[in-house]
């Protein structure tokens, strides 16, 4: 297992001030732009080879959009993404093919992410065909059998169709498909959220085993914080399109510094009645503001328990508290106020 302190290698993934804004339109034929939804509004992070970065936050915070924009499924509005030395935004032709081969995605819903009319063989072998990794039908089938074995499915299932499988098995097919192009980097977008509790652990263990065996780097997007703590080396907490705090996993869970992280962690249910009774919760007032009409200054100030008057005017600086522990807040000690 790679511990966070030993990761000094060059980062495999570099995300710099990434932004994705969606236009909000009114009308269908003569549609008029009426606003901008800032789903992702400038996030920066790096992922070293072989580590797992967790990206957490509540629904609508933009975590999935980050993942999709990183792989070019959405065109970025601003900023840059570099995977294995290739810039996604400026890549052309051949370079794009390399990036697509080396980075893959596992989706949340194993029901809608597999083509119901394709056999398992067709689904898993598609990346092999597209990227011309193995020539010849027979050889490809052998590779598919190998991949199915890797994810814990029998090769007898090769000619079956998605509807014949349970949710957990389908997720395994999705993982086999992602592995088919021999990627270095996989984005897991809520890979276990749709699964039963007893199946979640199976899939998480599989992802961990694959990382050990193949040295894959993960971006693990999730809202289940207990699972994130279990699987991730480092964790980034998002709120309204911005990363609020980023730190080593144990550090973040044991000593959260940002008031939002503190509130979020205190709300996670703990399956232990004794702890649950004694625990004190930090309750945030109000609802999450609309990303179409963001509050000025720090976007968390409307719900922040320690907000000061200037927080509604001044946007905080993304700063490093100590090695590897980043935070987006004026008030976290040592305090830091940008000039007005």
Partner 1 sequence: MENLKTLLDVNDLNVRFHTPEGIVYAVNGATFKVYEGETLALVGESGSGKSVSMMSILGLIPLPPGEINGGPAFYRNRNLLTLPEKDLIAVRGKEIALIFQDPMTSLNPVLTMGRQLTEAVIKHYHVTKSEARKKAMEFLELVGIPEARGRFSNYPHQFSGGMRQRVMIAMMLALKPSLLVADEPTTALDVTIQAKIVDLVKDIKQKIGMSMIWITHDLGVVAGLADRVIVMYAGTVVEEANVDDLYKKAKHPYTIALLAALPMINSRRGAERLKTIPGSPPNCHHLPTGCAFAPRCDFVQDQCWKCIPPLESVADDHFSACWVDVKTGALRS
What is the binding site for partner 1 (CB under 8 A)? 1, 58-59, 166, 168-169, 196-202, 204-205, 208, 223, 225-227, 229-233, 249-250, 253, 263-265, 267-277, 279, 281, 283-284, 287-288
Compute the radius of gyration of the chain from its Cα atoms.
Answer: 21
Q: Is the Cβ of residue 276 or residue 337 nearer to partner 1 in the bound state?
A: 276
CA 2, distance to chain mean position in Å, is: 20
Distance from C-alpha of 182 to C-alpha of 184, rounded to nearest angstrom:
7
Query: Smallest distance, Å, CB 64 to partner 1?
Result: 14
Most distant pair of Cα atoms in the chain: their distance: 69
**Burial class, 32, CB count within 10 angstroms (exposed 0-12 / middle 13-18 / buried 19+):** exposed
Alpha carbon 287 to chain centroid, angstroms: 23
> Distance (Å, rounded) from C-alpha 281 to C-alpha 103?
39
Is the preceding omega at residue 334 within 30 degrees of 0, hence cis? yes
Closer of 70 and 203 to partner 1 (Cβ): 203
Using the minimum distance from each CB to partner 1, give the nearer residue, 270 or 306.
270
Distance CA(32)–CA(24), nearest Å, equals 8
CB of 86 to partner 1, least distance (A): 30
Report the residue number, 278 or 340, with the smaller CB distance to partner 1. Answer: 278
Q: Name the residue nearer to partner 1 (CB basis): 56 or 105.
A: 56
Work out how close the CB of 287 gets to partner 1 at its nearest, in angstroms, rounded to a whole number.
5
**What's the min distance (Å) between Cβ of 272 and partner 1?**
6
Nearer to partner 1, 130 or 282 (CB): 282
**Residue 69, CA distances (Å) to 15, 20, 80, 82, 180 in order:** 10, 7, 10, 12, 22
In the complex, what is the shortest distance from the CB of residue 176 to partner 1, in angstroms, rounded to a whole number? 17
């Amino acid at each position: 297992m790679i511990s966070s302190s030993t990761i000094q290698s060059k980062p495999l993934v570099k995300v710099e001030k990434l932004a994705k804004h969606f236009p909000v339109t009114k009308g269908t034929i003569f549609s008029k732009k009426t606003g901008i939804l800032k789903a992702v509004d400038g996030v920066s992070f790096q992922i070293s080879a072989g580590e797992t970065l967790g990206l957490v936050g509540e629904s609508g915070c933009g975590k999935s959009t980050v993942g999709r924009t990183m792989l070019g499924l959405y065109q970025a509005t601003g900023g840059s993404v570099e995977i294995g030395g290739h810039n996604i935004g400026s890549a052309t032709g051949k370079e794009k093919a390399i990036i697509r081969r080396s980075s893959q995605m596992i989706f949340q819903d194993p029901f809608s992410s597999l083509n119901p009319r394709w056999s398992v063989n067709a689904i898993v072998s598609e990346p092999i065909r597209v990227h011309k990794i193995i020539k010849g039908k027979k050889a490809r089938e052998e590779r598919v059998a190998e991949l199915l074995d890797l994810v814990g499915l029998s090769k007898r299932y090769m000619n079956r169709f998605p509807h014949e499988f349970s949710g957990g098995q389908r997720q395994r097919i999705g993982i086999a498909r992602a592995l088919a192009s021999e990627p270095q980097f996989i984005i897991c977008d809520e890979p276990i959220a749709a699964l039963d509790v007893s199946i979640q652990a199976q899939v998480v263990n599989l992802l961990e085993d694959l990382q050990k065996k193949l040295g894959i780097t993960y971006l693990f997007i999730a809202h289940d914080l207990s699972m994130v703590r279990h699987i991730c080396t480092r964790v980034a907490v998002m709120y309204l399109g911005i990363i609020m705090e980023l730190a080593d996993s144990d550090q973040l869970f044991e000593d959260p510094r940002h008031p939002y992280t503190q509130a979020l962690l205190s709300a996670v249910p703990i399956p232990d009645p004794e702890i649950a009774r004694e625990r004190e919760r930090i309750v945030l007032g109000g609802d999450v503001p609309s990303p179409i009409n963001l509050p000025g200054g720090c976007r968390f100030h409307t719900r922040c328990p320690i907000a000061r008057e200037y927080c509604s005017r001044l946007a905080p600086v993304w700063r490093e508290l100590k090695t590897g522990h980043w935070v987006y807040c004026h008030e976290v000690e040592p305090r830091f106020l940008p000039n007005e």
